Structure 1
Amino acid sequence: MREYTEKKETCGTICLKYLLFIFNFFFWLAGGAVMAVGAWTLAEKSDYISLLSSSTYSATAYILVVAGVVVMVTGILGCCATFKERRNLLRVYFILLLCIFLLEIIAGILAYIYYQQFFPVSPQLSLELKQNLKNTMTQKYRREGEESVTSAVDKLQQEFKCCGSNNYTDWADSLWIRSPEASGRKVPDSCCKTITDLCGRRDHPSNIYKESGCITKLENFIQEHLKIIGAVGISIACVQIFGMIFTCCLYKSLKSEPY
């Protein structure tokens, strides 16, 4: 009976080891995906961050990058701890899993919080956000020390085929448009459907994106991207629960080792 019990425990341990190894393999791949989403947000869309009134969006992306790196390192540690059957390594692995779990939950919560900030139920708050974008574009565009805003506005108007926050008339309040530096432009050249030097002097619909404002398109972009960030963070965090359960079971099935 004793031999049967020991054999049963050994088989259970082997099953747990392979389950944990399979989990770690997919967990490592998931870490790469998390890091890729965060890095893509910062590398490809970082210009738009300067147009937003909150730093929560960028903070969420940074958390995902850090979590992704730690996940990949943790996945390797988990494989080593599993096959060497070291309880001390399993403890470290479990703690790292728990930390990553909390990081990804925080990233998901931040994405949700920012979603509520950017798409509030109150029409008045939404109006304030729209006014903030207009002020950023008209007060900081082409101003000294605001090169990142200028680059972001130009990229936004060209990529989303829009002009101004609500529409092209917003540029009438621009400090730059009113200055001699604008050379008679009515809108920035980045509002033009085909960019040429001084094309912003002519505000005809055939020349500029006259009726298309950027605020709605920026809102749609942020909305969709926040859904991706939140879903990735929360989904992988939920999967990690199984990893922590497997780790606890394997830890208990192994005999104590001297340090």
Structure 2
Amino acid sequence: MLIKYGEYSRFFSESYMTLTVLVTVTSAALLLVTGCVGSWVSLKDSICLQGLFVYLLVVVFCVKSTASALAYFHSVTLDTEMAPFSGVFENYTGSSEDSNSRSVDAMQEELKCCGVKNYTDWLETTWFNKSGKLRFPYSCCNVTFPTCNGT
């Protein structure tokens, strides 16, 4: 998650993303500690340790809930930030002469994706309809399939 954050941070605002990543990593660390305490509690018969275990479970639940809420709100923010890209995809011509088309191809190749949300975004574009509804841009092709031609 941290590696992906580093790669994609230039595309999205950092306010929600940074907080979401930090809360998620913190909750993972707390979950690891809670698991260790839970294993230790099973070996010992201590009411104090059992209380600590339940307390840590409640804390982990709260942190995970917070991370989930932040991720949800970030996805809503992400949708609004990605809206301008839809216009660029709509004006795609497939020509290497067109700077918008080169930008779309470069972004899809760099991020290893197809479309704004997924490949179905191409189904509604003018370029797709003009291509006979049989092709996607070559930049949508996965490098593990060298014979991909966009069909």
Superposed pair shares fold, TM > 0.5: yes
Higher helix share: 1
| Cα shift at 1:77 | 0.9
TM-score, length basis structure 2: 0.55
* Unmatched tracts of structure 2, length 5 or more: 119-151
Counterpart amino acid of residue 3 in structure 2: A
* Unmatched tracts of structure 1, length 5 or more: 1-40, 120-125, 134-164, 170-202, 222-259
| Cα shift at 1:61 | 1.9
Is structure 2 residue 69 aligned with structure 1 residue 166?
Answer: no
Distance 1:75 1:218 in 2: 40
Structural mapping, 1:64-213, within 5 Å: 64-119=24-79, 126=80, 130=83, 166=88, 203-204=96-97, 210=102, 212=104
Distance 2:29 2:116 in 1: 29
| Cα shift at 1:95 | 0.8
Q: Tell me which of the two structures has the higher relative contact order, counting C-alpha pairs closer than 8 angstroms and 6 or more residues apart.
A: 1
* Structure 1 segments (4+ residues) deviating >2 Å: 128-131, 208-221
The question of whether the paired residues in 2 share the 8 Å contact of 1:166 and 1:212 is answered with: yes
Structure 1 residue matching 2:65: 3-state secondary structure: helix
Distance 2:6 2:40 in 1: 37
The question of whether the paired residues in 2 share the 8 Å contact of 1:49 and 1:58 is answered with: no
User: Identity over aligned residues, as a percent?
Assistant: 19
* 1:219 to 1:87, Cα distance in 2 relative to 1, 3 A: farther
Counterpart amino acid of residue 109 in structure 1: A
Q: May I ask how many residue pairs the two structures share in their alignment?
A: 107
Q: Deviations 1:98-147 (Å, cap 9, x if unpaired)?
A: 1110000111111111112222xxxxxx4x6555x8xxxxxxxxxxxxxx
Counterpart amino acid of residue 105 in structure 1: S
Is structure 2 residue 24 aligned with structure 1 residue 61?
Answer: no
Counterpart amino acid of residue 56 in structure 2: L
Query: Who wins on radius of gyration, i.e. which is larger?
Result: 1
Structure 2 residue matching 1:52: 3-state secondary structure: coil
| Cα shift at 1:217 | 5.3
